[in-house]
Amino acid sequence: MAGAGAGAQAATDMARLRKAAIEKPVSLEPRGSGHHTRGMVRHRIGIDLGGTKIEVAALAPDGALRVRRRIATPEGYEATLAAMATLVREVERELGETCTVGIGIPGTISPATGLVKNANSTVLNGRALDRDMAALLGREVRAENDANCFALSEAADGAGAGCRVVFGVILGTGCGGGIVADGAVLRGRQRVAGEWGHNSLPWPNPDELPGPPCWCGRSGCLETWLSGPSLARDCDGPEARDASELPARAAAGDARARAALDRHADRLARGLAHVVNLLDPDCIVLGGGLSNMAHLYTALPALLPRHVFSDVCDTPILPNRHGDSSGVRGAAWLWPAE
């Protein structure tokens, strides 16, 4: 997070931007034209809003990445909005056109209230983020769960391209999931479709009960077993947070690291078996920092059939194609190419 001084400056910028949005909304017309040309928008801007960083990217109509920038997430809600608005304006100045804007958030917009819910970046909860950004930019802004954005990106032109049903998994600081069916995000009635990370670990062993406490208020959620920090704690104790070196340690003969990775793969297979039993996707695409652990792509296909209610289970477990750009690309894909 940025310091308090940066936060205060961003709050000042926020007030200025709100005033500007009221006095002179941003036009959707291109420069030099007096006609409304919504259908002529060429680029789409996506924003990936995380707890520690904000990333913005602009996609050309063919999906090619044209601009990409990343900054630290400032402290506070209004400062975060101001930072995103500034990034959008900078990218549009560089491109010389006004673009559509989509945002991937670590939560979802409640269909009941229109406010953010279930965000592990708790400063967002209870806020009308999409409407607040629309007021700043003077146009409609679409917001979607970040795991849904990841799944949409990988289904559109990534590892899941050509598959009818794609389940996208985020294994990073948290554990999220998103579903894309026939090219569209499946949100569900409550907008929680794909939120497998807050189901309990299936078929728990006695020493896995009741499970670690979760930030959501429950215990034993898959997120408390499968996220990067959870894997690190399982291996190296309660103060550990970084699991990125565990595969190298295991390869070098560290028995503790090897055992932790084996436990993690087994738990991940149990969690994904529930997904297959309920959804039976055409493929599962892994994202987030832990998706870089190569052993998962051999371990999971061997472990998954033990728990799936079928005579065969050949669901492909795939690494993502777009890396850490998938989320921001998916946010841009919330708008169709025009």
Are 132 and 173 contained in the same domain? Answer: no
Amino acid at 112: A
Are 125 and 174 contained in the same domain? Answer: no
The number of folded domains in the chain is 2
20 pLDDT higher than 90: no
Residue-number span of the structural domain to which 200 is assigned? 159-320
Through-space distance between the first and last CA atoms of the chain, rounded to whole angstroms: 36
Q: Is residue 48 one of the residues assigned to a domain?
A: yes
> Residue 131 burial (CB < 10 Å; 0-12/13-18/19+)?
middle
Q: How confident is the model at residue 32 (pLDDT cuts 50, 70, 90)?
A: very low
CA gap 118, 171 in Å, rounded: 17
Are 236 and 287 contained in the same domain? Answer: yes
The pair phi, psi for residue 176, each rounded to 5°, is -125, 175
Tell me the per-residue pLDDT of 72-117, one tens digit each, with 9 for 90 and over.
999 999 999 999 999 999 999 999 999 999 999 999 999 999 999 9
Are 25 and 134 contained in the same domain? Answer: yes
Q: Is residue 276 one of the residues assigned to a domain?
A: yes
pLDDT at 68: 95
Are 172 and 303 contained in the same domain? Answer: yes
Residue partners of 207: CB distance under 8 A and separation at least 6: none
221-225, Cβ contacts within 8 angstroms, sequence gap of 24 or more: 221/175, 221/197, 222/175, 222/196, 222/197, 222/198, 222/267, 222/271, 223/174, 223/175, 223/197, 223/198, 225/201, 225/264, 225/267, 225/271
Q: Is residue 84 one of the residues assigned to a domain?
A: yes
Nearest to 306 by CA among 267, 252, 254: 267
Q: Is residue 50 one of the residues assigned to a domain?
A: yes
pLDDT at 52: 86
The larger pLDDT score, comparing residue 336 to residue 213, is at 213
Tell me the per-residue pLDDT of 153-211, one tens digit each, with 9 for 90 and over.
999 999 999 999 999 999 998 999 999 999 999 999 999 999 999 999 999 999 999 99
pLDDT at 336: 86
Are 10 and 108 contained in the same domain? Answer: yes
Are 128 and 244 contained in the same domain? Answer: no
pLDDT at 182: 97
Taking each continuous run of H as one helix and of E as one strand, the counts in the chain are 10, 12
| C-beta neighbour count of 102 within 10 angstroms | 26
Whether 195 and 176 have beta carbons less than 8 Å apart is answered as: yes
CA gap 38, 43 in Å, rounded: 11
pLDDT at 338: 67
Query: What's the token pair of residue 119?
Result: 């965000």
Q: How confident is the model at residue 57 (pLDDT cuts 50, 70, 90)?
A: very high
Query: If DSSP codes are grouped into helix, strand and coil, which group holds residue 269?
Result: helix
Q: Is residue 217 one of the residues assigned to a domain?
A: yes
| C-beta neighbour count of 86 within 10 angstroms | 18
Are 167 and 316 contained in the same domain? Answer: yes
CA gap 127, 119 in Å, rounded: 11
pLDDT at 16: 45
Are 170 and 305 contained in the same domain? Answer: yes
Q: How does DSSP assign 106-151, residue by residue?
A: SSEE-TTTSSEES-SSGGGTT--HHHHHHHHHTS--EEEEHHHHHH
Paired residues of 19 in beta bridges: none
CA gap 321, 48 in Å, rounded: 17
Q: Is residue 135 one of the residues assigned to a domain?
A: yes
Residue partners of 101: CB distance under 8 A and separation at least 6: 45, 46, 47, 88, 133, 137, 139, 141, 142, 335
Whether the link from the prior residue into 25 is cis, omega within 30° of 0, is: no
36 pLDDT higher than 80: no
pLDDT at 31: 30
Amino acid at 128: A
Are 214 and 191 contained in the same domain? Answer: yes
Q: How confident is the model at residue 29 (pLDDT cuts 50, 70, 90)?
A: very low
Q: Is residue 153 one of the residues assigned to a domain?
A: no
What CATH number is attached to the domain comprising 295?
A: 3.30.420.40
Query: What's the token pair of residue 135?
Result: 């007021």
pLDDT at 10: 41
Nearest to 137 by CA among 22, 60, 8: 22
- Count of alpha carbons within 13 angstroms of residue 267, beta-carbon side: 29
48 pLDDT higher than 60: yes
pTM for the full predicted model = 0.84
Amino acid at 100: T
12 pLDDT higher than 90: no
Query: What's the token pair of residue 210?
Result: 């009741």
pLDDT at 14: 41
